Chains A and B, each alone.
Chain A
Amino acid sequence: MASLRDIKGRITSTKKTKQITKAMEMVSASKLNRAEQNAKNFVPYSEKIQEVVASISQGGGDASHPMLEARDVKRTGYLVITSDRGLAGAYNSSILRKVYRQIHQHHTSAEEYKLITIGRIGRDFFRKRNMPVDMDITGISDQPDFADIQDIASQTVQLYTDGEIDQLYIYYNHYVSAITQEVTEKKVLPLTDLNEVKKGATSSYEYEPNQEEILEVLLPQYAESLIYGALLDSKASEHAARMTAMKSATDNADELIGDLTLSYNRARQAAITQEITEIVGGAAALE
């Protein structure tokens, strides 16, 4: 049996770990609140831009734009959103596993895809496996502004416009609730499923100067807003995942401390019993 001092040491260190995980749980809980708020703030913008895009692409018959039309796929872009830090349960690993599997299923050489990563974990994962990461951004704050990712979003959209990639998928954790997050694959470009968005509430507009030029400005912005929306969603998921992970870590620490305290007390009792036996034995030998 481990000595009393060993057990005591383990109890103290588990208690310290528990303090840390508990603190991280509370920090994540408050960050989750803010992240939810940010996602909510984004809703009016995304709804409005979706409405306008949908009404333009449906309204006039002659509106066409490269972003609206599917073309032969020679190269696929994957935008993968992960976190910068770990300790978030299966948050990162489930996304990376899915992307990794997708890529290996559909592509045979690195020429056929381009990887764009947001977050350090994703970047390191692909680099370690010798998969080229074409663009990456790390150090996004927990409460991201649109300006933080505008560069990478517009460059990604630019890749499509330049014909470097022929379709763009985005992988992120969709925030369902504080305990459930779902790995989501979303096709961002080309914007082929626009017609399914909101059929009813569209109105006809006058276009200044004309539809094509508006689409020219609007569609990249729309695609960028989709990317930003995914980022906000995944930030909320990240904090939720970390909160849950830290909560179960705290619970496990509690359990461990209970077990250790029990064996500490047993060992203490055993030591006392042994001491008494020794004294009694010694006294008996003297008589």
Chain B
Amino acid sequence: MSTLTVSVVTPDGPVLEDAFEMVSCKAESGELGILPGHIPMVAPLTISAVRLKGEGKSDRIAVSGGFLEVRPDKVTILAQSAEKPSDIDIDRARKAKERAEKRLQDKQADIDFKRAELALKRAINRLDVFDNNF
């Protein structure tokens, strides 16, 4: 079966580069599944998990602030942060979640509210990817 080269790049360096058979992710407009031979495409991703399936292996990556560039034989995910489950700092994510929840309950200025909401989303996403519950 043909494969896609998937590379995940962040400002802190490449996170992953490997061949997979299918990429599924959540773009701003909805779920996307990409198989080899897809037409060139660009789409922004939500704060979510990217799932990669290959021959007898599968991988998950928690991304935030990213987008996806697709070519027929290559998928590049550019994200401000991207982590494999093994790289996730689970304590930090838990603390970030608590902090964000607290801030959301306090309800101050609009900007703070928006940022707290994003922080909460990122923390929940990391926890989900870590625990593998979808």
Whether the Cβ atoms of A208 and B12 lie closer than 8 Å is no
Whether the Cβ atoms of B41 and A44 lie closer than 8 Å is no
Q: Interface size of A by Cβ–Cβ distance < 8 Å?
A: 29
Across the interface, name the chain B residue whose C-beta is closest to A209. Answer: B29
Whether the Cβ atoms of A217 and B44 lie closer than 8 Å is yes
Whether the Cβ atoms of A48 and B9 lie closer than 8 Å is yes
A111 within 8 A of B: no
Whether the Cβ atoms of B44 and A214 lie closer than 8 Å is yes
- With a CB–CB cut-off of 8 A, which chain B residues contact A213? 28, 44
- Choose, from B75-83, B97-105, B123-131, the stretch at the interface: B75-83
Whether the Cβ atoms of B41 and A205 lie closer than 8 Å is yes
Whether the Cβ atoms of A45 and B78 lie closer than 8 Å is yes
B113 within 8 A of A: no
Across the interface, name the chain A residue whose C-beta is closest to B71. Answer: A203
Whether the Cβ atoms of A150 and B80 lie closer than 8 Å is yes
Across the interface, name the chain A residue whose C-beta is closest to B77. Answer: A48
Whether the Cβ atoms of B41 and A45 lie closer than 8 Å is no
Whether the Cβ atoms of B43 and A146 lie closer than 8 Å is no
Interface centre among B12, B27, B28, B81 (most CB of A within 10 A): B12
- CB<8 Å pairs between A and B, sample of 30: A38-B13, A41-B14, A42-B13, A44-B13, A45-B11, A45-B13, A48-B69, A49-B78, A56-B42, A203-B71, A204-B40, A205-B41, A205-B69, A206-B39, A206-B40, A206-B41, A207-B42, A207-B43, A208-B27, A208-B43, A214-B43, A217-B28, A218-B44, A218-B67, A221-B65, A221-B67, A221-B80, A224-B80, A225-B11, A228-B11
Given contacts A42-B12, A146-B81, A214-B43, could you give 17 more A-B pairs where the C-beta distance is less than 8 Å?
A45-B9, A45-B10, A45-B13, A48-B69, A48-B76, A146-B11, A146-B12, A146-B80, A203-B40, A207-B41, A207-B42, A207-B43, A209-B43, A213-B28, A218-B67, A221-B67, A228-B11
